[in-house]
C-alpha cells in the first residue's frame, strides 16, 4: 500500500457514485424494430469493452427493447463515452485521392447529404436532392472489383466540395469521402476490401527496437486472403501515390493510410501513427472486441450520485464493528486468556483483507460495494468458526487424559481437516455464486471467497504457531487461572473426579 501510495479501496456505485449512459439502438435503415438477438450481442460486446477498462461492479443491461444502459464506477464520463459509444465499424478501403482538408462551417441545421449546404448560382433552379444509398447491395464486390473501382463525376464533384465534419454515408459497396481524425486531410476511398469482422485480434505494443506505440492486427483466413490480394495489387509499380495506399477506417474516420510496398501475407498487419500507451490500448480494446451489430446514439449521460451513499457505508462499517465486538466479548467470556489469539487473528485477518481490497482496487479496478461489505462481515464468523473447531478439539484431547502440550498438537492434526473442509465449502459457494450471479452480488461472492482464503492462511501460519508458543509459557502451559487452559475450564478436573468415583465404586463392589 505504501509503495502504491494507496490507502483506501475503490468504492462501487452504491457507495461512491459513477457514470451512467444510455445508448439507443437503431438498425441500418432506420426503419422497423431492433432485433433482440443483435441487441443482446451488442450488450455482450459493450460488457467486454467495459471489463477491459479494468473496472469492477459495472452493469450493462438492456432496457425497453432498444436501449442499453451502462453504469460504471470510478470512470470519467468522457472516457466511458469514448469507449462504449463507438460503434467500431472497421473497414479497409483503397485510397483513390487525398487532399489537404478544410473544416466544415457550423450549419444552422444539420444537413442530410454532403451537398445540402451548397447553394446553386443565382438564376439556376435548385437541384433535386439525390441521396446516396444507406445500405449495401445484396452482392458485395470482390477485392478485384473494389480495386478496379473508378469514381464518377458526381464522386469527384462531391470530393472537391467536401469539408471535414460533413456527414457522408459509410456503405461497404459504395465510395466514401471522409477525413482523418485530426481533420487535416480528406480522402476519396473506394469500396471496402476487408471488413472489421474478419479481424480476430488486436494488441497494443511497442515496435521492436523503437519507442513508438503500435496496434497489431490479426485477420482470419478469409480476411488474410483478401488482405494479401489487395496489398499485392496496391504494390504494383504502375500505382502512384496515393493510389498505392489503403485506408484503415474506423467509424468513418481514417485512422491511418499506409503506403504498400509489397504484398502482406499471413494475415498480420500493424497500425502505426501518433499513438501513446493509452490511445493504442483503447483502440486495441475497441477493435479486439469487435464491431457492434447495431448503430447507437447517445441518448443520455449523467454522473449518478451514490444510490445508498455515505450513510449506508457508515451503517455497514458500524455493523461490522458491532459484529466484531460481540465475537470478541464472547471469546473473552468463554475462552478467557485464549481470547488474545482470537482477537489478534481477527485483527490480522481484517488488516490483510483491507490491504488486498485496496491493492486489487488499484491493480484490477475492484470496487467495494455494500454486498461486498456484507461478505467481509460474514468473514468474521468464518474465521471464528476455525478457532472454535481448534480450541474445542484441544479441550477434547485434554479430557481424554493427554497433556496440554500434546493436546495442542494432536488437536491441530484432528481439527485442520475439518477447518479445510469447512473453508472449502465456503470457497465453493463463493465460486458458484460469482459465476452465476450478476451485478453487485458478484462483489459479495468475491469478498467472501477472498476472506475465506485469508482465513486459511491466518489459521495455518498465525493461529496455530501462536497457540503453540503460548502453550510453552508458564501462564498458559501450566493452566493458570484465566489462561483458558486451566483444568477446571477445560473439563479435565470433572473428568478426573468422575473417573475416581467410578474406580472407588468398582473397588467397593469387588
pLDDT digits (tens, 9 = 90+) for 420-471: 998 999 899 999 988 887 666 778 888 889 999 999 999 999 989 998 888 8
pLDDT at 83 over 80: no
The answer to whether 17 and 67 have CB atoms below 8 angstroms apart is no
Whether 37 shows a pLDDT value over 80: the answer reads no
**Cα 127 from Cα 118, distance rounded (Å):** 10
Can you name the residues that pair with 205 across neighbouring β-strands? 214
Q: In this structure, what C-alpha cell is assigned to residue 109? A: 441545421
Q: Is residue 62 part of a domain?
A: yes
What pLDDT is attached to residue 151?
Answer: 92
CATH at residue 77? 3.30.70.3220
Q: Is the peptide bond before 69 cis (omega within 30 degrees of 0)?
A: no
190/95 Cα distance (integer angstroms): 6
Query: What is the per-residue pLDDT across 285-302, written as a single tens digit (0 to 9) for each?
Result: 767 765 666 777 777 777
Domain holding 462, by residue range, is 310-501
What is the tens place of the pLDDT at every residue in 242-255? 898 988 887 788 87
Is residue 247 situated within a structural domain? yes
Domain-terminating residue out of 227, 260, 291: 291
- Is 220 domain-assigned? yes
Which residues are paired to 180 by β-bridges?
Answer: 254
Looking at the structure of the chain, the number of domains it has is: 3
Is residue 130 one of the residues assigned to a domain?
no
pLDDT band at 498 (very low <50, low <70, confident <90, very high): very low
Q: What is the mean pLDDT of the chain?
A: 79
Lowest-confidence region among 3-17, 335-349, 423-437: 3-17
**pLDDT attached to residue 290:** 59
Rounded distance between C-alpha atoms, residue 203 and residue 78, angstroms: 23
Contact in structure between 234 and 181 (CB atoms under 8 Å) = no
**Whether the predicted pLDDT of 189 surpasses 90:** yes
Q: 3-state DSSP call for residue 9?
A: coil
- Flag whether pLDDT at 212 surpasses 50: yes
- Residue 167, number of CB atoms within 10 A of its CB: 14
Residues 316 and 462 in one domain: yes
Are residues 465 and 324 part of one domain? yes
Least confident of 39-48, 137-146, 436-445, 496-505: 496-505
- CATH code of the domain covering residue 235: 3.30.1360.200
Pair (236, 320) in one structural domain? no
Rounded Cα distance between 25 and 295, Å, is 6
Q: Which of 264, 260, 286 is nearest to 199 (CA)?
A: 286
Q: Assess whether 64 and 44 both reside in one domain.
A: yes
Same domain, yes or no, for 460 and 484? yes
At 484, list the grid cell: 483458558
How much is the pLDDT for 320? 84
Tens-place pLDDT, residues 49-72? 777 666 566 778 887 778 888 888
Pair 74, 97 in one domain:
no
Based on the domain organization, do 72 and 96 belong to the same domain? Answer: no
Q: Kindly state whether residue 331 falls inside one of the protein's structural domains.
A: yes
Do residues 94 and 235 both lie within one domain?
yes
Q: Name the phi and psi angles at 199, rounded to 5.
A: -95, 125
Confidence category of residue 495, pLDDT binned at 50, 70, 90: very low
Of the residues 230, 257, 291, which one is the last residue of a structural domain? 291
Q: Regarding predicted confidence, which is higher, 272 or 276?
A: 276
495, 439: one domain: yes
End residue of a domain, out of 291, 321, 355 = 291
375 and 476 share a domain?
yes
Q: Does pTM surpass 0.85?
A: no
Q: Which run of H or E residues covers position 271?
A: strand 268-272
What CATH number does residue 324 fall under?
Answer: 1.20.1640.10
Based on the fold, state whether residues 361 and 485 are members of the same structural domain. yes
Residue pair 73/56 in contact (Cβ under 8 Å)? The answer is: yes
Peptide bond between residue 218 and the one before it cis (omega within 30 degrees of 0):
no
CB 327 within 8 A of CB 346: yes
CA distance linking residue 21 with residue 473, whole number of Å: 63
Based on the domain organization, do 276 and 329 belong to the same domain? Answer: no
Q: Is residue 169 part of a domain?
A: yes
Neighbours of 502 (CB within 10 A): 10
Give Cα separations from 44 to 74, 197, 398 (angstroms).
21, 16, 59
Amino acid at each position: 500500500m505504501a509503495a502504491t501510495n494507496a490507502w483506501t479501496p475503490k468504492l462501487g456505485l452504491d457507495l461512491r457514485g459513477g457514470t451512467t449512459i444510455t445508448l439507443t439502438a437503431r438498425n441500418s435503415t432506420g426503419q422497423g424494430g431492433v432485433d433482440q438477438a443483435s441487441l443482446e450481442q451488442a450488450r455482450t460486446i459493450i460488457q467486454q469493452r467495459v471489463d477491459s477498462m479494468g473496472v469492477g461492479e459495472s452493469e450493462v443491461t438492456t432496457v425497453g427493447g432498444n436501449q442499453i444502459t451502462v453504469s460504471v464506477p470510478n470512470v470519467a464520463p468522457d472516457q466511458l463515452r469514448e469507449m462504449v459509444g463507438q460503434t467500431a465499424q472497421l473497414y479497409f478501403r483503397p485510397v483513390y485521392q487525398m487532399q489537404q482538408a478544410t473544416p466544415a462551417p457550423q450549419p444552422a441545421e444539420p444537413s442530410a447529404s454532403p451537398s445540402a449546404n451548397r447553394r446553386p448560382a443565382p438564376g439556376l433552379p435548385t437541384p433535386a436532392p439525390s441521396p446516396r444509398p444507406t445500405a449495401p447491395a445484396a452482392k458485395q464486390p470482390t477485392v478485384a472489383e473494389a480495386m478496379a473501382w473508378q469514381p464518377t463525376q458526381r464522386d469527384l464533384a462531391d470530393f472537391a466540395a467536401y469539408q471535414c465534419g460533413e456527414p457522408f454515408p459509410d456503405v461497404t459497396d459504395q465510395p466514401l469521402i471522409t477525413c482523418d481524425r485530426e481533420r487535416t486531410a480528406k480522402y476519396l476511398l473506394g469500396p471496402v476490401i476487408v471488413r472489421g469482422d474478419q479481424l480476430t485480434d488486436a494488441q497494443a505494443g511497442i515496435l521492436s527496437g523503437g519507442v513508438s506505440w503500435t496496434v497489431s492486427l490479426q485477420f482470419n483466413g478469409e480476411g488474410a486472403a483478401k488482405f494479401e490480394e489487395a496489398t499485392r495489387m496496391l504494390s504494383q509499380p504502375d500505382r502512384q501515390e496515393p493510389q498505392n495506399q489503403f485506408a484503415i477506417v474506423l467509424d468513418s474516420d481514417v485512422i491511418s493510410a499506409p503506403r504498400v510496398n509489397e504484398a502482406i501475407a499471413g494475415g498480420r498487419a500493424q497500425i502505426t501513427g501518433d499513438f501513446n500507451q493509452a490511445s493504442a490500448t483503447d483502440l486495441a480494446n475497441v477493435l479486439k472486441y469487435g464491431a457492434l451489430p447495431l448503430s447507437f446514439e447517445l441518448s443520455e449521460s449523467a454522473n449518478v450520485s451514490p444510490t445508498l451513499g455515505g450513510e449506508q457505508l457508515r451503517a455497514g462499517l458500524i455493523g461490522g464493528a458491532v459484529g466484531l465486538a460481540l465475537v470478541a466479548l464472547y471469546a473473552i467470556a468463554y475462552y478467557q486468556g485464549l481470547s488474545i489469539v482470537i482477537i489478534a487473528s481477527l485483527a490480522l485477518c481484517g488488516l490483510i483483507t483491507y490491504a488486498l481490497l485496496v491493492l486489487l482496487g488499484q491493480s484490477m479496478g475492484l470496487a467495494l460495494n455494500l454486498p461486498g461489505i456484507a461478505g467481509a462481515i460474514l468473514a468474521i464468523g468464518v474465521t471464528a468458526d476455525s478457532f472454535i473447531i481448534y480450541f474445542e478439539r484441544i479441550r477434547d484431547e485434554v479430557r481424554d487424559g493427554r497433556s496440554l502440550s500434546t493436546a495442542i498438537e494432536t488437536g491441530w492434526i484432528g481439527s485442520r481437516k475439518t477447518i479445510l473442509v469447512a473453508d472449502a465449502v465456503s470457497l465453493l459457494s463463493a465460486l458458484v455464486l460469482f459465476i452465476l450471479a450478476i451485478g453487485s452480488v458478484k462483489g459479495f461472492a468475491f469478498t467472501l471467497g477472498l476472506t475465506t482464503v485469508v482465513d486459511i492462511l491466518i489459521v495455518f501460519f498465525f493461529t496455530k504457531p501462536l497457540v503453540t508458543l503460548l502453550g510453552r509459557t508458564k501462564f498458559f502451559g501450566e493452566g493458570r487461572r484465566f489462561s483458558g487452559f486451566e483444568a477446571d475450564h477445560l473439563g479435565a478436573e470433572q473428568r478426573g473426579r468422575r473417573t475416581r468415583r467410578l474406580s472407588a465404586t468398582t473397588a467397593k463392589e469387588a
